[in-house]
Amino acid sequence: MNRRAVLSIVGVVAVLIVVVALTTFLRDDKAGPEAQIEGLQTFSGLTNTHVEGNVAYDHTPPAGGDHFAAWMDCGVYDTQVADELAVHNIEHGGIWIAYDPDALDDAQVAALADQVPDNGIMTPYAGLDAPVVVTSWERQVALDGVDDPRLRTFVDTYENNPIAPESGLVTCTGGVDAAEAAQIAQQYGL
């Protein structure tokens, strides 16, 4: 075999090694944050059409799907809101922190409120299977409580969620405020 053929083979092998190494690195990098969140649930194929009525979501709280045309102003709410409002927020890449009001005392609710990101909402949600459930579009994790470290990891990973259909359109004002959210909840039978 001549020298040119050997160099060509060595070059091809070197390129293949680099490609395999980069592919492995990128795949591990993408899986990294999600792999760090034990119990993370992922959902796919969720629609995002604006509707004018109740939506029968497959799970509660929903991690996406059809929703109202209105969204909620970012912040902390002391009454349960219509899922269809909160889903619009997560469609924009926001974070929704829902808590079971029967599982947390006032001090824990206040501590949880301190952890809501700028583009997030926090609402009570009766009947949750966990004390706290944190949601972003197509991603959700049930937490053991207010001090569960997965909350910070989830927020750091999914705040301004790039997989949300309208990521980057987080509008924390101009939406529904607490009084309007209560009226909508009453209208839709919450």
Domain that holds residue 7: 1-35
| CATH number of the domain within which 51 lies | 3.40.30
- pTM (two decimals): 0.80
Residue 35: its pLDDT value, please?
55
Examine the domain organization and report whether 4 and 81 are in the same domain: no
Residue 20: its pLDDT value, please?
40
Examine the domain organization and report whether 46 and 31 are in the same domain: no
Residue 183: its pLDDT value, please?
86
Q: C-alpha distances in angstroms, 126 versus 24, 36, 114? A: 43, 28, 21
Examine the domain organization and report whether 76 and 134 are in the same domain: yes
Q: Is 167 exposed, middle or buried (0-12, 13-18, 19+ CB in 10 A)?
A: middle
Residue 1: its pLDDT value, please?
63
Examine the domain organization and report whether 76 and 25 are in the same domain: no
Examine the domain organization and report whether 169 and 117 are in the same domain: yes
Does pLDDT of 89 surpass 90? yes
pLDDT grade for 100, boundaries at 50, 70 and 90:
very high
In the chain, how many domains are there?
A: 2
